[in-house]
Every structure is written in C-alpha cells, then in structure tokens.
Amino acid sequence: MRNPLTLTINGEQHDLLIEPHWTLLHVLRGQIGLAGSKENCLEAECGVCTVLLDGKAVNSCILLASLCAGRSIVTIEGLGDPEHLHPLQAAFVKHGAVQCGYCIPGMILTAKSYLDEHPDRMPSRDEIREAISGTLCRCTGYQKIIDAIAAVAAERAGKGAQEDAP
Amino acid sequence: MRPNQNTVAGRRLPRLDGAAKATGRYVYGTDVTLPGTLYGKVLRSDMPHARLTRIDVSAARAMRGVRAVITSADVPQVRYGNAVKDQTVFATDTVRFVGHPLAAVAADTLEIAEQALSAIAVELEPLPPLFDPEAALAPDAPLLHPDWQDYVALPVIAREGNIAGRSRMRHGDVEAAFAQAHRVYEHRFTTALQHAGYTEPRAASAAWDSTGVLTVWSNGQLPFEVQATLADILELPVSRIRVVVPGIGGGFGGKLRIGVEHFAALLARQSGRPVKMITTSEEELIAAHPRQAAIITVKTAVSADGRILARQGRVVVDCGACSGSGPGTGAVALQCLVGPYRTPNLLMESLAVYTNKVPSGSFRAPSGPMANFAVESQMDIIAKDLGIDPLEIRLRNIVREGDLGPAGEVLKDVSIEECLRRAADAIGWHDRAAEPGRGKGIACSWWMTTGGSSAVFIKLNGDGTVALTSGAVELGTGALTGAAQILAEELSLDLEDVRVATVDTLHVPYDYGAQGSRTAFSVGNACRAAAADLRQQLFALVAAQHGVPAEEMMLRDKCVVAGDKRIPLADIARQQYTGGGLVARGTALNPPPAYDPARVENHPLPVWNTPSFHAHAADVSVDTETGEVTINRYVVAQDVGYAINPTYIEGQIEGGVSQGLGQALSEEIVYQDGRVLNANLTDYKMPTSLDVPPIESILVECPSAAGPYGAKGVGEPPCIEPPATIANAVAAATGLWITSLPITAEKILLRLKGEP
C-alpha cells in the first residue's frame, strides 16, 4: 500500500508514492535516482548514507522517508557538480582526501553540517576528528580528510577576519 | 627521459576521478540497477558442520513476487576455487561453516526475497565441528573434505587431508647452527581474523542477453578471474561471459575472489530477468574473505653479538571451510619470516588448514603482518636479552645490495638501512628517556611488487587527448591516475588529456588484476611501451609528410617537433582518420628474477619481483590503570622507488597504517562455537577518526630497474609493520610482549596484573 509523499530535495519538490517502511536512503537511491548517498551497513554504523536534513547531518539509512515531509533535504548532488565544486568538494580533491570515494559524500556532508553549526571560529584538528568520527573511512586513515576540512575552515576564518578588518 | 625532468609524473596532481567521487557522480557496483531487475538473497547455514538432509523450497517458490529459487539441485555440480577447486556454489550434502550458502532467491523486492528465505525448510544433522587448525592437523582428526583427493588443484600445491597447501623454503643446515649458537630463542604468536573493511559491500548485477551471453556488473578486483570462475561454475566458455566493473568502493584484497556474481548469474538465468545482489554487513563478517587467523612459531639462533645464524619458522593459516587464498597466503608468509635479514641457515614451512569457519581470503599484504609481528617481536626480545639496541640489532643483520634472498635470488636496489635510519631519526630513537608507561618501538620488513602481465590500448583522439584502455580496475588507490601520469609524461600531454576507460572484459586487454601492489607499476610499464609505439607511428607519419628523419623528432608540448616544424598531435590524429586512426598498444610482462629452485618446495610465489623495503616507528603511551594504548606519533619510511604521485602514496601509507593499527589493537572477527559474535560494524572495531594518530610519511626513492621511472610497489607494505611496531612500543613502555593480536587493553591489563 503506497502513500503519497512530497519531499524537498536539493531545493526541488518531488511528488512520490512510497511504502510506509521505506527509508530516506531507499527513496533517494531507488525512487529519485540520487545515488550519491551511498549504501552499506543500513544500521547507522558507517555513515556513508549521510545527508543533510534541515542542515543537520543524519543517517538516511534508518530515517523513514515519511518523516521528512516538509523538511529540507540536501544530498551530495545538491552541493556542487564537477564543473562547480563546493569549497569542501574542491578541498577534498585538492588535498588527496578521496581514494575509493565511497565514504566521501557522507564525509563532506558531515563536515558541512559541522562547519555550519560552528560558523564563528576555527575548529582544532581534534574537534574535526570528533565531528567526523561517525563516518568510517577505510582508505585514508582520515589524515587528508582532516587536512581538507581544516583548510576550508581556515579559508573561511581568513575571509571572516578580512571582513572584520576596519 | 629523466625522472627529475618530469612535469606530470612525480607531481602532486589531483586524481582523475576525484571530482566525480566528491560530487557523488561516480558510479559504483552497488549503484548499478538494471531496468526490471529482481533482487537476490542467499540463505545461509546456521550450523558450523552438519549433514544437509533435506531442503524444501516449494513454499518459497509459490510465494507471490518470487521469481527464482535455486539450491544445489538447480546448478551445475562443479567445484571451483583459486588454488584448489574445493568450493561449490551451494552446500550439496555437507555444510562446513555458519554462513555456508544453502539456497538463493530472486524476487520483485528485497523484502519478498527475505520473506522467501524464511519459507525454505532446511534440515541439518550436526556433525562434530573442528575449529582449531592445530587440532585439524592431528593424525586422527576427522577430514573436513573427505573427498580431498578428488579435487583439482594447481600443480604447485601440495595437499594432504585437512592441509589445503603446504610450502617450504630451506637453505643451509639449521640443526647444526642451533647446536653451535650462542643462544636459541623460540616463540609462538597468534593473530586474529580481520575483515578487509571496504565501505562498499560486495555487489553484482547480472543479465543474460538473447544470444546467451551473460553480462555481470561486478565490483571485484580481478575481472578476468571473475570471468574465469563464472565460466567454471556455469560451464561456459569465457567468451560468453562479460564482466563490467563500473567502480569499486575499496577492496584491499577482500574483493579478489568471486563475491555474489555467481548467485546473481544463476538467479538471472533461472528467472529470465536481471538480478541485483548486495551483501549485508552481517554477511560480510560471517561469509566474506577475511585475512586468516594464524599461528606462527619462530626459532632463531644468534651469536653473542646478535647476528642471526639460523631461523626455523612455521606458519599455520586457518583457511576455514575452503582453501580460498590460503595456500598462497601461507606460502608468502615464509619470505616475511626470513625478513630483510641475512639468514645463512633457514627452514620455513607454511600450512594452510581447513576448519569449520569462514573461508578466508587475501587482505592487503595477506600474511605479511602476521609473519612480521612474529619475527619483529622476537628481534626485540632477542635484543633485550643480549643488551643490544633494537635498531642496532637490525642494522647488524639487514641484507645488503647483491646479497641472496631466501630463494637464492640476487637482491637489488636494497634500501633497508636508509629506511631504518630515517624512521629512527624521525621518531627520535636516540632520545628515549625512561618514562614509565611510555615507549618507542621500531619494526621493518620487505615486500614484493607482484608480477603478472598487463596490456593497454591507447587511442589518440582528434582533439589531441588520449583514451587509455586497460583491464586494470581502480580500487581507490589512485593507481590508474598514476599510470595516466606516466602516459601523459611520455606523450607530452597534461594529465587531464588522458581518459581512462571503464573495464569491460569484452574489449579490454588482459590484466593480472588489482592485487599485490602491482597496478601503477605494471600498467605504468605498459603505458610506457604503448607511448613508444604511438611515438613511432607519429614520427613515421610526420617523416613521410615532411621529409624529416624520424630519429630527429621528439614530442614536446603536445606536438611532434621535427626540425623547425611543430605539428600538433591533434592535427596528426585528425589527418589519420583517413588511415584508420591512431591506435597503439603496450604490454608489460614483469618476469620474475632467477632463483634457486632447490630452496623452495610447493611455493606458488617462490621469488619476489622488485622488492620494496620499509621501516615503521611509533611512540606510544600505555595507561597502566586501563591497559589502553595511545599512539603519540607514528612514522613510516618506505622505499617507493620513484614517487609517481607523492600525495596518493602518502594516502596509501596513511590508510595502510590505519588498517594495520586496527589489526594491531582492535580488529578481530570473534568466533565462539563456530558462530561470529560481532557480525556488525559497531562490535567489529575498525579504527575511526578518533583512533588513528597523525602518520608521518617519509618517501625513500631507491629506484628499481624494472618499474616505470624506477617505481616499486606501494599499496600493501604500509599495513605489514604496524602490529610489530605497536607490540615493540608497548613492550618498551611496559616490559611485556603481547604475543597475540589484537593487543587489546584487556590483554595488556591482564599481563600487567601478572596473568599469563
């Protein structure tokens, strides 16, 4: 028995018919064709399915799609495209933070959520470590991921300092 | 062309697939969904060893939305496998591990497929299980494969009963050396099952076309082995099987052997529909291809000044229910048991042994970390006993240029001293002020650059760019970006001018596969050969047109430079459309060096190609109240021969070390009575961003004769030394050697409290 549902994803409305038990990840990948949100444990243990819900990073694999009505969903496809990379995406590529890349959409969205929540200061590397600790990466040892996030944060802090300057 | 004049190779350029991956546009195996696809699931045994007396799928077949149900009765009765053909698609009459496939279902949805699995009636009569590989070696142990003598195996493999493979290396007379030595040390070490931990589960989609050709979209590391294994299982010629590898979310050796491709293919054949399958985390942890648990005994004789006189070693790898990668993995441990040390007398034996556990595979540097943990821990134990500095005892024993390796091969481009000294200097080895609960450890090793052939086709496009087609897949390491850097360098192109084609066995040339630290090395060599072929063609065309001798031409800035003329490659490519276009080919054979066959017995990899050398050092603190280990600093000095792209080599080192730290400190697939107790990603503890310390990489460049611009294999070595390095650092901090992996806080605390 499928029910109608309207979701706002990357700023666009999608009118859907869904089963009540479908997760947001299932709908994104299976119904809408946004495969950038990745699939692995389906138990909120690995973080590769992370999306932004009203700006906050959430594991879409355990979130019922029906609970997302009326809320803003942003997936990795909503951040930038290969010709117009978001600063976090550009930094991940530049700093060698991408290897197999399977965890990277979730990592980037987790980082965005964290940086957006802390707009006024430069986080330490340990704070960045803490912020991304819910997303497993097996390839990189996290070092270059932290480099990339720190670089974006530093650039933002630099810009802020310039704007504040008299 | 001299490496130090390179403008593309050797540079920290961003990888070719980076933007696609960072924007979620890159397509992985799990992303392939064919129109009208069904979803497949596998029913697995919940007993470790049992007779399968009845399986009834009639209720499952009758369910609405179920399109295919298959058991052993529905598939060819074929045995397949890599070294030993001892595996069947489904259990026929005996189940041999918890997780052993019994049946598979394809249905309109995953939910229906799961419901159908629970509608299958299975009757199992328990048989006495065998979990301990040493017990399996006992003369009166029950045979887990009573028909083992009927199995087909590679000619090199020696088998007997529960032993799926036995290899030996020998030289000199160890007994005489033991009798005359200053001291003889003997220790036993154990290591645990470790999952490769790729974040993309194994996945496959399969579809049969109207001509009877099967296409499988796989995320396996060895598309040609997947093709050959499917040919065995389906009893078809390889030309009827097409394997496409869209993209791979990590493999680390765990995706070498076939995963779920065969189930998808068989279900697709029975249903007449495409079938997609993805393994769950639980299936990954109970029924994938983890790194074997091993038992290693090492006996070493030394002189009073700490020189190795003889070493005898035995490694028992627990293959689980089928041999999997076990025979080769066990054998490779032997070179690591010798290590990068002069060993005048040696006698090494590996045994790959069947038990009622998960069939295991060949995770990154398959048996290297286990063997290295044993010999490098023992080196420190010896050093302490003899009152010699651990760095010094290593420097006294390391191999030198021109020495003979364990198979009697001549060792070339040996850099172990530089690696040890640079790692030691970086960690501050000579500043080890006594501080309770804090210590520094060091360990070193060597490893092969696996041989096997590669071929590439390159096509010069009308816009001057090049398409690179090879059978090598990109696991995530960046190896194909590295190969493309070499190709671009050779053709005076920018890296972005090289487009790497997706692997499809229908049209790509053969490649031995993404394994054994070989892809950038071997495909890079093939790219150099292909570039030479293309240059020759270009120069011949220009010579015919402009009358300049080909010997006086060169490529520069995307042009053929002929005397005072500069002809853009794009122009030549377009002109040559009337001549069938410009296509070139290159191959790399990577032959093994000469060795002494009298030193090896039944060893599938008797001699190592282009070995690399490396040393790791760590500074750790141990909390004596909790046993918790904190890594303050971690340093790697690794000889990479020539750093094709330093950024991604550092990435290999940082990632490999973090996997090694997982094996050292936390990772273990825990079995109790044949069942895995921690089959989920919360209880199976891979390092998170909070667990991995900063890792400092020192890239040593001692060029090899065989690799592109002198490169050596890079990918596997970083995970070899971490367990030994941590064990030695923990010992320096506590005075205690933990001889079983992982070195958990619990083990340390029990030892600190005086328990054995």
- Tell me, yes or no, if B25 comes closer than 8 A to chain A by beta carbon: yes
Is residue A160 very low, low, confident or very high in pLDDT (cuts 50, 70, 90)? Answer: low
In the DSSP assignment, the letter for residue B25 is -
- Tell me, yes or no, if B22 comes closer than 8 A to chain A by beta carbon: yes
The predicted-structure confidence for B85-143, as pLDDT tens digits, reads as follows 999 999 999 999 999 999 999 999 999 999 999 999 999 999 999 999 999 999 999 99
Alpha-carbon distance of B471 to B508, in angstroms, equals 5
Q: Which long-range contacts (CB under 8 A, 24 or more apart) does B2-6 make?
A: B3/B642, B3/B703, B3/B709, B3/B710, B6/B489, B6/B709
Alpha-carbon distance of A59 to B602, in angstroms, equals 50
Q: Return the bridge partners of B352, or none.
A: B165, B317
Query: Torsion angle, CA of B261/B229/B212/B207, rounded to 10 degrees?
Result: 10
A23 three-state secondary structure:
strand
In the DSSP assignment, the letter for residue B359 is P
Identify which of B316, B367, B331, B325 has the alpha carbon closest to the alpha carbon of residue B603: B331
Interface probe, candidates B12, B33, B199, chain A, greatest A C-beta count within 10 A = B199
* Beta carbons of A99 and B478 less than 8 Å apart: yes
- Tell me, yes or no, if B18 comes closer than 8 A to chain A by beta carbon: yes
Q: Return the bridge partners of B513, or none.
A: none
Residue B150: its H or E element: none
Residue B370: its H or E element: helix B368-386
In the DSSP assignment, the letter for residue A29 is I
Identify the CATH number of the domain in which residue A140 sits: 1.10.150.120
Looking at domain B3-27+452-588, does it have CATH number 3.30.365.10? yes
CB neighbourhood size of B63 (10 A)? 15
Q: Please tell me which of the candidates A40, A76, A93 has its beta carbon nearest to residue B200.
A: A40
Residue of A nearest to B479 (CA): A99
Q: Return the bridge partners of B733, or none.
A: none
Full residue range of the structural domain in which residue A101 is found: 87-164
- DSSP, residue by residue, B561-629: EETTEEEEHHHHHHHGGGGT-EEEEEEE--PPPP--GGGEES-SS-S-SS-EEEEEEEEEEE-TTT--E
CATH number of this structure's domain B294-450+595-752: 3.30.365.10
* Beta carbons of A45 and B281 less than 8 Å apart: yes
* Beta carbons of B658 and A141 less than 8 Å apart: yes
Number of residues that this document lists for chain A: 166
Do residue A147 and residue A108 come from a single domain? yes
- What pLDDT is recorded for position B591? 94
**Residue B464 backbone dihedrals phi, psi, to 5 degrees:** 85, 0
Do residue A8 and residue A65 come from a single domain? yes
In the DSSP assignment, the letter for residue B194 is B
- Tell me, yes or no, if B547 comes closer than 8 A to chain A by beta carbon: no
**Residue A3 backbone dihedrals phi, psi, to 5 degrees:** -115, 150
Do residue A129 and residue A66 come from a single domain? no
Query: Torsion angle, CA of A70/A72/A73/A75, rounded to 10 degrees?
Result: 160
Min Cα–Cα distance to chain B from A151, Å:
16
Identify which of A21, A51, A19, A59 has the alpha carbon closest to the alpha carbon of residue A34: A51
Do residue A56 and residue A121 come from a single domain? no
Chain B partners within 8 Å of A141 (Cβ): 654-658, 687, 692, 695
Return the higher-pLDDT residue of A40 and B434. A40
Q: Please tell me which of the candidates B278, B654, B682 has its beta carbon nearest to residue A143.
A: B654
What part of A 88-117 touches B (C-beta under 8 Å)? 89-90, 92-96, 98-105, 108
- What pLDDT is recorded for position A166? 46
Do residue A92 and residue A36 come from a single domain? no
Interface probe, candidates A45, A79, A138, chain B, greatest B C-beta count within 10 A = A138
Q: Are A94 and B647 in contact (CB under 8 A)?
A: no
CB under 8 Å to B701, separation ≥6 — which residues? B639, B640, B641, B642, B643, B710
Count of domains observed in chain A: 2
Tell me the C-alpha to C-alpha distance, in Å, between residue B687 and each of A44, A47, B684.
16, 14, 10
- What pLDDT is recorded for position B508? 97
Do residue A18 and residue A64 come from a single domain? yes
Q: Please tell me which of the candidates A100, A133, A135 has its beta carbon nearest to residue B476.
A: A100
B682 three-state secondary structure:
coil
* Beta carbons of B199 and A105 less than 8 Å apart: no
B149 three-state secondary structure:
helix
Do residue A73 and residue A131 come from a single domain? no
* Beta carbons of B14 and A96 less than 8 Å apart: yes
- Average pLDDT by stretches of 10, chain B with 756 residues: 80 98 98 98 98 98 98 96 96 97 98 98 98 97 97 97 98 98 98 98 98 98 98 97 98 97 98 98 97 98 98 98 96 98 98 97 97 98 98 98 98 98 98 90 98 97 97 98 98 98 97 96 98 97 94 96 95 93 96 97 97 98 96 98 98 98 98 97 97 98 97 98 98 97 98 89
* Beta carbons of A96 and B27 less than 8 Å apart: no
Alpha-carbon distance of B231 to B323, in angstroms, equals 20
Q: Are B408 and B425 in contact (CB under 8 A)?
A: no
Alpha-carbon distance of B583 to B534, in angstroms, equals 7
Q: How many Cβ contacts (< 8 angstroms) between chains A and B?
A: 176
What part of A 46-85 touches B (C-beta under 8 Å)? 46, 48, 75-77, 79-82, 85
Q: Return the bridge partners of B206, or none.
A: B216, B275
Do residue A68 and residue A128 come from a single domain? no
Half-sphere exposure in the Cβ direction for A45 (13 Å, CA): 18
Residue of B nearest to A97 (CA): B651
Min Cα–Cα distance to chain A from B32, Å:
9
Domain boundary pick from A27, A57, A78: A78
* Beta carbons of A104 and B21 less than 8 Å apart: yes
Helix axes B722-734, B745-752, angle to 10 degrees: 30
What part of B 601-630 touches A (C-beta under 8 Å)? none
Domain boundary pick from A23, A55, A78: A78
Residue of A nearest to B697 (CA): A143
Residue of B nearest to A131 (CA): B689
CB neighbourhood size of B27 (10 A)? 13
What part of B 180-219 touches A (C-beta under 8 Å)? 196-201
- What pLDDT is recorded for position B334? 98
Q: Are B243 and B174 in contact (CB under 8 A)?
A: no
CB under 8 Å to B210, separation ≥6 — which residues? none
Q: Are B567 and B559 in contact (CB under 8 A)?
A: yes
What part of B 687-706 touches A (C-beta under 8 Å)? 687-690, 692, 694-695
Task: List the end-to-end C-alpha distance of chain A, in Å, as a whole number.
Answer: 62
Identify which of B259, B257, B318, B316 has the alpha carbon closest to the alpha carbon of residue B82: B257
Do residue A34 and residue A100 come from a single domain? no
- Tell me, yes or no, if B446 comes closer than 8 A to chain A by beta carbon: no
Query: Torsion angle, CA of A76/A80/A85/A87, rounded to 10 degrees?
Result: -70
Alpha-carbon distance of B102 to B92, in angstroms, equals 8
Alpha-carbon distance of B199 to A122, in angstroms, equals 30
Identify the CATH number of the domain in which residue A61 sits: 3.10.20.30
CB under 8 Å to B653, separation ≥6 — which residues? B636, B638, B695, B697, B718
Residue A122: its H or E element: none
Alpha-carbon distance of B555 to B543, in angstroms, equals 14
Chain A partners within 8 Å of B477 (Cβ): 99, 139
Tell me the C-alpha to C-alpha distance, in Å, between residue B257 and each of B202, B317, B526, B534, B587.
11, 18, 25, 35, 25
- Tell me, yes or no, if B30 comes closer than 8 A to chain A by beta carbon: yes
Q: Which two tokens stand for residue B600?
A: 């090896």
* Beta carbons of B24 and A105 less than 8 Å apart: yes
Radius of gyration in angstroms for the set of CA atoms belonging to chain B, rounded to a whole number? 27
- Tell me, yes or no, if B36 comes closer than 8 A to chain A by beta carbon: no
Residue of A nearest to B281 (CA): A41
Min Cα–Cα distance to chain A from B451, Å:
23
- DSSP, residue by residue, B404-443: B-TTSPBP-S--HHHHHHHHHHHHTTT----BTTEEEEEE
Query: What superfamily would CATH give domain B32-128+199-250+255-287?
Result: Aldehyde oxidase/xanthine dehydrogenase, a/b hammerhead (3.90.1170.50)
What part of B 634-673 touches A (C-beta under 8 Å)? 647-648, 650-651, 654-659
Identify which of A57, A5, A11 has the alpha carbon closest to the alpha carbon of residue A34: A11
User: Does B32-128+199-250+255-287 match B294-450+595-752 in CATH topology?
Assistant: no
* Beta carbons of A141 and B281 less than 8 Å apart: no
Identify which of A157, A130, A132 has the alpha carbon closest to the alpha carbon of residue A145: A132
Q: Which two tokens stand for residue B581?
A: 């276009």
Q: Which letter, b or e, does each residue of B323-341 get, where b requires 16 or more Cβ atoms within 10 Å of its Cβ?
A: bbbbbbbbbbbbbbbbbbb
Alpha-carbon distance of B699 to B688, in angstroms, equals 25
Do residue A70 and residue A101 come from a single domain? no
Half-sphere exposure in the Cβ direction for B429 (13 Å, CA): 18
Do residue A72 and residue A101 come from a single domain? no
- What pLDDT is recorded for position B1? 45
Q: Are B298 and B186 in contact (CB under 8 A)?
A: yes
- What pLDDT is recorded for position A161? 60
Domain ranges of chain B: 3-27+452-588, 32-128+199-250+255-287, 294-450+595-752
Domain boundary pick from A30, A58, A78: A78
The predicted-structure confidence for B589-648, as pLDDT tens digits, reads as follows 999 999 999 999 999 999 999 999 999 999 999 999 999 999 999 999 999 999 999 999
The predicted-structure confidence for B53-75, as pLDDT tens digits, reads as follows 999 999 999 999 999 999 999 99
Chain B partners within 8 Å of A38 (Cβ): 28, 30, 199-200, 249
Identify which of B94, B107, B93 has the alpha carbon closest to the alpha carbon of residue B39: B107
- What pLDDT is recorded for position A159? 78
Q: Please tell me which of the candidates A34, A45, A143 has its beta carbon nearest to residue B695.
A: A143
Radius of gyration in angstroms for the set of CA atoms belonging to chain A, rounded to a whole number? 17
Q: Which two tokens stand for residue B385?
A: 């006993």
